[in-house]
Structure 1
Amino acid sequence: MSHYVGRFPDGAAGLGLLTVRLCYAPLAFGIVALPPMTTAGAMVLRLVAGMLALLLVAGFATRVAAFTLGVAVLLALVVSTGPERLLLIGHTGGCAAMALLGAGAYSIDARRHGHRVIHLTTRPPDRGGGD
């Protein structure tokens, strides 16, 4: 019996991955608010956070965006103290899971790299005569 495992799951699993992406997108803005920043650094970090949030919501380059967000969470974990550290540890695992699972069927990634059918045809053997 052969099994087909979709690279971009749809149905309940696809909706679950969409929900995870939508829930983790605002995390980028929360990470930006944690460390003290200068005005120039704050503007750049907010721009990067906005780009990460948009990428996650749209499901475009999801694995790269989730990995980048996970690195940002780890960096924020270094500068944070108190109860937010426990939340950040949990978010690190969520970002890792999202980076490993991918975007799901309801994403731009699925439209760009989705299911493709390859048709293989047989050719008759070469009937070359010997020299």
Structure 2
Amino acid sequence: MQRLYSMFPAGRAGAGLLILRIVVALQLPAASACCSKPAMAGWVDMLIEGLAVLLCIGILTPLLALLCGATAALCLFGQGVLSSVSPVICLVIANAIALALLGPGAYSLDAKFFGRRLIVLHEGNEQ
């Protein structure tokens, strides 16, 4: 699992990644509203809401970000006509790819579960 994450930046970079996660999570329902068909609306909406919640808390962020981008791309190609492409969908795809490449940051559950650990070894009982 360590290969999936390069590092978990904190500070301003970590806050920026947190904001990017929240922005992608908030944009995803708007993108699905552009393309929802009545036959698929129920399960697609549930999938998108679940993805948005998990992305906000930052669990398995690179995989979920790619799934968000794939969902938005499915909506994009489901429209049929690429000449009337919604800019919201393109923005979701671009932000999701950026988030997948950058990772979750220090303010996520991924950092807690998969982050680097400091192991301190104590030598015997010293008096």
Q: What is the TM-score when the length of structure 2 is the normalising length?
A: 0.78
Rounded to whole Å, the distance in 2 between the matches of 1:87 and 1:42 is 18
Aligned pairs for 1:1-131 within 5 A: 7-38=7-38, 41-78=40-77, 79=79, 82=84, 84=86, 86-117=87-118
Higher relative contact order (CA 8 A, sep 6+): 2
Rounded to whole Å, the distance in 2 between the matches of 1:113 and 1:83 is 38
SS at the partner of 1:25? helix
Deviation of 1:37 after TM superposition, in Å, equals: 1.9
Rounded to whole Å, the distance in 1 between the matches of 2:58 and 2:11 is 16
Deviation of 1:32 after TM superposition, in Å, equals: 2.1
Rounded to whole Å, the distance in 2 between the matches of 1:98 and 1:18 is 10
Structure 1 residues 14 and 43 mapped into 2: Cα distance closer, same or farther (>3 Å)?
same
SS at the partner of 2:92? helix
Query: Do the aligned partners of 2:68 and 2:96 also contact (CA within 8 Å) in 1?
Result: yes
Runs of 4 or more, structure 1, over 4 Å off, are none
Structure 1 residues 69 and 44 mapped into 2: Cα distance closer, same or farther (>3 Å)?
same
Between the two proteins, what is the percent identity of the paired residues? 32
Partner of 1:124: none
RMSD of aligned Cα (Å): 2.1
Rounded to whole Å, the distance in 2 between the matches of 1:23 and 1:71 is 16
- AA of the residue aligned to 2:47: V
Say which structure is richer in helix. Answer: 2
Deviation of 1:22 after TM superposition, in Å, equals: 0.8
What do residues 31-69 of structure 1 show as CA deviations (whole Å, max 9, x unaligned)?
A: 221224235x21111110111100111001111110001
Deviation of 1:82 after TM superposition, in Å, equals: 2.8
Rg: which structure is higher? 1
- AA of the residue aligned to 2:92: H
Q: Which runs of 5+ in 1 are unaligned?
A: 1-5, 120-131
Rounded to whole Å, the distance in 2 between the matches of 1:20 and 1:99 is 11
Rounded to whole Å, the distance in 2 between the matches of 1:115 and 1:26 is 29
